[in-house]
């Protein structure tokens, strides 16, 4: 009740500013009122508050149209309703919000003013069916896919029919309405909100007067055909490019889509079976499976079509066997070779769960949104951030708060387990990212999702971070179990919604669901821009792309000296990991790296004096972005004042391209590039090996038989060198030492104690007099046969390095 009063007060305040000709404040408060009413509508479902939001936006737009406004600070939460309105144009058709007022002036019989959806062939014609719509009840097997490639839609209708039979849910039928003048209207959840699609009652037929789309055989039920037509209008026509049933069902029913890659190494076969075996019999999920795009597969006597969705109409366990019942909605003809003229068509298949996992590519699950006690949505837009270098990449950051509550109003289940078989004390938060559609024919738009817990100690083994690779799907779902609930009653998640595409502005929706009866989620609307922000543009080349820390070339990656200033004291101290006791002495620093979607990134900060590091020591790491993620990496850490080295790396050394590193903090900082080892010096690389004659080990052995390189220095010069193994040999420690040419008993410069560092060992840069010297690479133990390289740095040209015979 309090939030309703607050929304009305904001609207009243906006009206007063408008009467006072304070256009800037009136505009701002009208937008705030619209967002407040929209939030109430999303929680209560009362259409009155949606209308109030629309009224507030209309007032704001009139003010913006006729009055000059001073620039306003961007408030992403006040723009949500306008973003939903902008997202109403799909495939050049206006798909209005469901709460908008439809026009009452239509001719009879109704003809769609938008025209008819496109057809796969000009030989097909539009006709009004010449037979009445039957009232015979439908079974899933009555749904028949004809020549249109919309198997996902047919499978979606089939599983909804099965759900209606078992649970009286009235799915789909409740979304489709008609009038006596031949006008049909379908309510869909698309581009962040429910919208209306209007069609007339004409359907596409072939030359034999057969429907080319969905049919129901002798039962002559027409509603699936009209539902299909409305959805094909939304998706650009009957020459449909294809989808998957989870995406279709999200639009048609609002159920939450989850796509599981059955062939992924991370797929959990047993846990997935347990989840669906609990939820499916209760009506809390619907499912289909899909094949890959390879040639047709044979399962026993049945042929499985490529890139085809099969409806799952039942799952069961009998005699310790797990069975899945599939329905193929594709019309079986004599040409399929399976009917054999017997009149029986094997469209229904019973397959073992293990065979499902081995044979099919994807499992598409749609989850009942009523399972979730709390839900919030955010509607935003991606805009270009760096048109010159990364013109296709954009990200948007949100913070989600979650909190346990003992309010009985939030407890929807009284049993010890919730409706999906989970312990009621177990908390899971689902984050769904949805890209708004503009043109369904485009396939070069990609999204990714990065979800992690805020304010966690980076080295905590329970630290939760979920990252997805880029996908051209319109939906991405992440499920996360916050570890903070083990010790705390509240916390927050950092959400990074990422886009890689070609449009200047693309809408999106992030929906958060609390998979627990006593947890409430809400957006943190107080996230303000950092006071200090700096962006650095860079590029990985064959000289600076070092790969991840398992490569000896990791040291070549771009590195930066980050200096966090002390706002209270000039005393520098070595930072420790975040704890509640010393957090007040630290300041938050956010490091965000971006590149193209084909480059996997990581950003790591280590304690240092701002110098280049050659080896990554875990005890020195103070913050890192976690597993490598394509296109983006982000870490938010609380750092004490001091000096750090920030390393930006791609996963493989051959991943090269442009990147942007952004640093944000409420406290002052400085960041600058650290020069590469040997920068500004002459470089000479020598390759060699230890073999049966030269693998003699360290000084306690026949040291002088190691490979010896004669170095000639023409004049006083800066000199340095690094020894690296070409391939890692576990347990091998190396050393590189420089001697005068007259004495191999006492070195004048050395890399120090023998070390098995992956990056090798180095003689630090030093001044050296002209003359001849011996450079000796060695292993600690004798008998090590391995190849190596020595990189020599010099301040002058003309240094010669040759192997002494």
Please tell me the predicted confidence (pLDDT) of residue 570. Answer: 39
Q: What is the pLDDT of residues 479-492, one digit of tens each?
A: 998 877 667 788 89
Structure confidence at residue 792 (pLDDT): 97
For residues 549 and 604, give the distance between their C-alpha atoms in angstroms, rounded to a whole number. 11
Whose CA is closest to 95, among 236, 238, 204, 228?
Answer: 236
Average pLDDT over residues 602-631: 90
The SS3 of residue 536 is strand
Name the strand (E) or helix (H) holding 53. helix 47-66
CA–CA dist 421, 88 (Å, integer): 38
What are the φ/ψ torsions at residue 464 (nearest 5 degrees)? -105, 125
**DSSP type of residue 471:** B
Give the residue with greater pLDDT, 566 vs 90: 90
CATH 2.60.120.380 fits 532-673, yes or no: yes
Closest CA to 299 of 259, 249, 338, 355: 355
CATH number, domain 682-803: 2.60.120.380
Instruction: Please give the pLDDT value at position 418.
Output: 46
The two structure tokens encoding residue 279: 């939820």
Distance of CA 502 to CAs 76, 378, 507, Å?
22, 23, 13
Task: Tell the residue number behind the tokens 């998979």, with chain if given.
Answer: 515
The pLDDT value recorded for residue 341 is 39
pLDDT in tens, 559-591: 999 999 986 543 344 444 444 445 558 899 999
Q: Where are the domains of the chain?
A: 2-90, 141-243, 257-367, 372-523, 532-673, 682-803
pLDDT at 180: 85
Bridge partners of 205? 125, 211
Residue 715 CB coordination number (10 Å): 11
- The answer, yes or no, to whether residue 181 has pLDDT greater than 60, is yes
User: What pLDDT shows up at residue 461?
Assistant: 37
Residue 426 pLDDT more than 60? yes
CB-based contacts of 189: which residues, under 8 Å, 6+ apart? 195, 250, 251, 252, 253, 254
Residue 742's pLDDT is what? 77
Among 147-151, 159-163, 499-503, the range with the most confident prediction by mean pLDDT is 159-163
Domains 372-523 and 682-803 share a fold: yes
Q: Is the pLDDT of residue 123 over 90?
A: yes
Q: Could you read off the pLDDT of 30-63 as tens digits, one per residue?
A: 888 888 887 787 777 788 888 898 888 888 878 8
Question: What's the pLDDT at 46?
Answer: 84
What Cα–Cα distance (Å) separates residue 55 from each residue in 34, 40, 61?
Answer: 8, 15, 10
Secondary-structure class of domain 372-523 per CATH: mainly beta
Q: In which band, very low, low, confident or very high, does the pLDDT at 103 lie, cut at 50, 70 and 90?
A: low
d(CA 86, CA 432): 21
The class (CATH top level) of 257-367 is alpha beta
Question: What average pLDDT does the structure give for the chain?
Answer: 87
pLDDT per position as a tens digit, 295-347: 777 777 788 999 999 999 999 998 889 999 999 998 764 344 444 434 455 68
Range from 381-385, 502-506, 753-757 that averages highest in pLDDT: 753-757
Average pLDDT over residues 740-761: 91
Give the pLDDT confidence score for residue 106 in this predicted structure: 73
Domain 2-90 belongs to what topology? Methane Monooxygenase Hydroxylase; Chain G, domain 1 (1.20.58)
Flag whether pLDDT at 616 surpasses 50: yes
Residue 211 is predicted with a pLDDT of 95
- pLDDT > 70 fraction of the chain, expressed in percent and rounded: 88
């Amino acid at each position: 009740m309090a939030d309703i009063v607050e929304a009305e007060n904001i609207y009243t305040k906006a009206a007063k500013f408008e009467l006072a000709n304070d256009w800037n404040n009136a505009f701002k408060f009208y937008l705030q009122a619209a967002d407040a009413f929209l939030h109430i509508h999303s929680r209560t479902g009362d259409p009155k508050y949606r209308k109030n939001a629309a009224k507030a936006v209309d007032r704001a737009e009139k003010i913006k149209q006729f009055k000059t406004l001073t620039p306003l600070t961007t408030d992403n939460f006040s723009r949500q309703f306008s973003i939903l309105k902008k997202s109403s144009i799909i495939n050049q058709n206006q798909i209005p919000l469901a709460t908008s007022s439809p026009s009452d002036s239509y001719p009879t019989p109704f003809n769609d003013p938008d025209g008819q959806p496109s057809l796969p062939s000009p030989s097909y014609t539009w006709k009004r069916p010449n037979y009445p719509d039957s009232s015979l009840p439908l079974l899933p097997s009555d749904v028949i896919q004809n020549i249109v490639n919309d198997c996902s839609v047919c499978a979606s209708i089939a599983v909804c029919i099965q759900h209606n039979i078992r649970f009286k849910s009235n799915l789909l039928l409740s979304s489709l309405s008609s009038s006596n003048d031949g006008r049909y209207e379908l309510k869909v959840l698309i581009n962040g909100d429910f919208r209306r699609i209007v069609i007339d009652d004409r359907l596409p037929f072939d030359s034999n007067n057969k429907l080319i789309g969905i049919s129901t055989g002798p039962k002559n039920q027409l509603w699936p055909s009209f539902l299909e037509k409305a959805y094909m209008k939304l998706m650009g026509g009957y020459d449909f490019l294809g989808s998957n049933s989870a995406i279709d069902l999200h639009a048609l029913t609002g159920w939450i889509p989850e796509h599981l890659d059955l062939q992924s190494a991370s797929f959990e076969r047993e846990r997935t079976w347990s989840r669906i075996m609990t939820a499916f019999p209760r009506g809390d999920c619907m499912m289909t499976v899909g094949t890959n795009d390879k040639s047709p597969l044979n399962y026993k006597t049945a042929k499985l079509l490529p890139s085809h969705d099969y409806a799952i109409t039942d799952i069961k366990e009998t005699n310790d066997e797990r069975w899945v019942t599939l329905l193929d909605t594709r019309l079986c003809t004599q040409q399929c070779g399976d009917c054999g003229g017997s009149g029986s068509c094997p469209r229904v298949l019973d397959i073992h769960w293990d065979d499902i996992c081995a044979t099919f590519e994807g499992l598409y699950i749609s989850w009942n949104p009523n399972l979730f006690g709390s839900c919030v949505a955010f509607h935003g837009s991606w805009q270009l951030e760096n048109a010159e270098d990364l013109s296709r990449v954009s990200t948007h950051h949100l913070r989600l708060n979650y909190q346990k509550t003992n309010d009985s109003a939030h407890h929807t289940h009284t049993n010890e387990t919730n409706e999906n078989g989970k312990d009621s004390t177990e908390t899971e938060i689902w984050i769904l990212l949805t890209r708004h559609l503009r043109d369904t024919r485009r396939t070069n738009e990609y999204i990714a999702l990065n979800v992690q817990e805020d304010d966690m100690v980076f080295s905590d083994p329970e630290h939760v971070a979920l990252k997805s690779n880029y996908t051209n799907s319109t939906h991405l779902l992440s499920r996360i179990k916050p570890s903070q609930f083990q010790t705390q009653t509240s916390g927050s998640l950092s959400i990074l919604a990422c886009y890689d595409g070609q449009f200047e502005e693309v809408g999106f929706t992030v929906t958060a669901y609390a998979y627990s009866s006593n947890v409430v989620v809400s957006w943190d609307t107080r996230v303000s821009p950092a006071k200090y922000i700096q962006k650095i543009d860079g590029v990985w080349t064959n000289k600076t792309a070092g790969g991840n820390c398992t490569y000896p070339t990791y040291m070549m990656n771009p590195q930066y000296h980050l200096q966090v200033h002390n706002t209270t004291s000039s005393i520098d101290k070595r930072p420790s990991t975040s704890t509640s006791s010393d957090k007040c002495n630290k300041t938050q620093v956010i490091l965000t790296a971006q590149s193209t979607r084909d480059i996997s990134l990581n950003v790591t900060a280590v304690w240092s004096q701002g110098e280049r590091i050659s080896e990554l020591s875990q005890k020195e790491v103070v913050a890192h972005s976690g597993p490598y993620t394509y296109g983006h990496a982000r870490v938010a850490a609380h750092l004490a004042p001091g000096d750090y080295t920030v390393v930006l790396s791609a996963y493989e050394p051959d991943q090269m391209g442009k990147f942007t590193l952004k640093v944000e903090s409420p406290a002052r900082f400085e960041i600058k590039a650290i020069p590469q080892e040997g920068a500004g010096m002459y470089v000479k690389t020598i390759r060699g090996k230890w073999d049966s004659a030269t693998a003699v080990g360290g000084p306690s052995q026949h040291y002088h038989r190691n490979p010896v390189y004669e170095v000639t220095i023409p004049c006083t010069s800066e000199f340095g060198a690094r020894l690296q193994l070409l391939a890692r040999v576990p347990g091998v420690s190396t050393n590189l030492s420089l001697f005068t040419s007259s004495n191999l008993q006492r070195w004048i410069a050395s890399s120090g104690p023998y070390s098995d560092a992956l990056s090798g060992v180095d003689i630090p840069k030093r001044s050296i007099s002209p003359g001849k010297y011996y450079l000796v690479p060695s292993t600690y133990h004798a008998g090590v046969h391995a190849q190596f390289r020595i990189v020599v740095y010099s301040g002058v040209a003309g240094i010669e390095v040759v192997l002494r015979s």
